[in-house]
Amino acid sequence: MGAISTILFILPFISAILLFLNSRGMIVLYGLLLIVTTIFFFAISFPLEKVFAKKFSFRALSYLMPIYYFALVIVSITLSWTFINLAAVGNLWIFLFAFSCCYIPYNYMLQGEQAKSGKIGILTNATNNYSVMGYLLFGILMNFTTFGVLWAYVAIILLGLFLLNGLAGRIQEEAKKKL
């Protein structure tokens, strides 16, 4: 697992450097803007979770919050594809950079939770995994196969449904263990 984390940490730097060397600096700037904007959006939306926690029961939130975060991942995948990867379909380094731009904000969220609480919650871990697997699946289908965009979205939605299966129950169990 450590090797994968190391690769995912180094990947954005290598791909960004290679894109700059190939006169694709604007794509790198779009990617950085996407990363910063996504992280900023998380910072704004975290207080909203407290508002929702007051209005909904914990059981309802255990269903609604995963759906919310998985929808955010789909938005991130769409933005990474549209602003970065669509510029050069089939270019491996742009694909890897777009993947990094989709993955980094969710990894930031994961590491932020670990820094605050000392552990990673099941929802944060599932969301982070969905950002990694979702863009890899979507990007591979769009870059290196003849599947259309509709089928790529169907594939990531099915992946999301697979990852959401039983997640609410696991969130509820995790909360019971904390009490």
Identify the pLDDT of residue 2. 66
Predicted TM-score (pTM) above 0.85? yes
Tokens of 43: 């910072």
Would you say 70 and 164 are in contact if contact means Cβ atoms under 8 Å apart?
yes
Domain ranges of the chain: 2-178
Q: What is the pLDDT along the chain (179 residues), one digit of tens a residue?
A: 567 777 777 888 888 888 888 888 899 999 999 999 999 998 888 787 778 778 888 888 889 889 999 999 999 999 999 999 998 898 888 999 999 999 889 888 888 888 888 888 888 889 989 998 999 999 999 999 999 999 999 999 999 999 999 999 998 888 888 76
Identify the pLDDT of residue 107. 86
Helices of type H across 84-166: 92-117, 122-144, 149-164
* DSSP notation for 23-47: T-HHHHHHHHHHHHHHHHHHHHHHH
